[in-house]
Amino acid sequence: MFKKTPIAAVAAVSLLLIAGGCAATNTGKSVAPQATAPAAAPAAAPAAPAVVAKKVDYTAMSPAELAEYLIFEAEGYDLKQPTQEGTTGRARLVQDEIQKACSLGKGKEIDDKSREKIMALAASTIKYPEGGIKLGDWKKGRELAWSGYGYRTAHNPDNHAKGTPGGNCYNCHQIATDRTGGDIGPSLTGFGKIRGMDPDTLKYAYDVIYNPHVYFACTNMPRMGASGVLSQAQIADILAYLFDPNSPVNK
């Protein structure tokens, strides 16, 4: 609706201008141009320009309003596109509580109360495997850690029947010495060798992978468990990759 309004309004204004122009030209040649033109303009113009100015004058929008406009109304993103989780593009853009709380404080130091709230929200999302946190298969974990496959949409959507979604860890972390990773997050090279494998350390790593906001409120790291990208078993495989002495991470 919002999307169509400015177009309709622009069309309406154009028509009015054309009509006004014609009227002026016609009457200009006749007796009383001044009397006809102003009379026509105020009668029809007030409503339409007000709508146009409000909807598409970017300079009058706050950064938040502009972002909302560009995302939801300007057709820059296909809101109807189907997603692998069975919703639409639009649903992905709706912020959950943690995202909202973090967006409010963007660019500012997060206050203690908000931090506590975010950490508590994050903690409530974490589910643990029956029988406790154990290491899985580091080779599977390596595959997952070095794969960014899955959940991408747009023109070439990932087909989950053809590949398992990965954890995308390599894009942000240096993980092992045999391959080069990203540096948005801290290096995880030698993780198990350096930190040991006691239950608290395993739980810490599990929690961070499941929902890192529980330790790092408003972090850039995605919530791989909480958002359903990785299963508990897959997280166990990635933990093995991080902790197993035979994994290249610890060589």
Which residues lie near ligand HEC (CB under 6 A)? 145, 167-169, 171-173, 184-186, 188, 205, 208-209, 212, 216, 219-222, 224, 238
Q: 160 and 84 in contact (C-beta within 8 Å)? A: yes
**How many other CB atoms are found less than 10 A from the CB of residue 150?**
17
Q: How far apart are CA 238 and CA 223, in angstroms?
A: 14
Largest alpha-carbon pair distance within the chain?
97
Cβ proximity to ligand HEC, 88 vs 147, nearer residue: 147
Q: Which two tokens stand for residue 193?
A: 């060798």
Q: 154 and 81 in contact (C-beta within 8 Å)? A: yes
> Minimum distance from CB of 197 to ligand HEC (Å)?
13
Q: Which two tokens stand for residue 184?
A: 């948005």
> Minimum distance from CB of 235 to ligand HEC (Å)?
8
Cβ proximity to ligand HEC, 20 vs 185, nearer residue: 185
Q: 69 and 61 in contact (C-beta within 8 Å)? A: yes
Q: How far apart are CA 242 and CA 195, in angstroms?
A: 10
Q: 139 and 153 in contact (C-beta within 8 Å)? A: no
> Minimum distance from CB of 67 to ligand HEC (Å)?
20
For the CA atoms of 160, 164, 169, 172, the dihedral, rounded to the nearest 10 degrees, stands at: -30
> Minimum distance from CB of 172 to ligand HEC (Å)?
3
Cβ proximity to ligand HEC, 5 vs 147, nearer residue: 147
Cβ proximity to ligand HEC, 48 vs 211, nearer residue: 211
Cβ proximity to ligand HEC, 18 vs 194, nearer residue: 194
> Minimum distance from CB of 167 to ligand HEC (Å)?
3
> Minimum distance from CB of 148 to ligand HEC (Å)?
8
Cβ proximity to ligand HEC, 20 vs 146, nearer residue: 146
- Which residue, 251, 250, 248, is CA-closest to 139? 248
**How many other CB atoms are found less than 10 A from the CB of residue 175?**
27
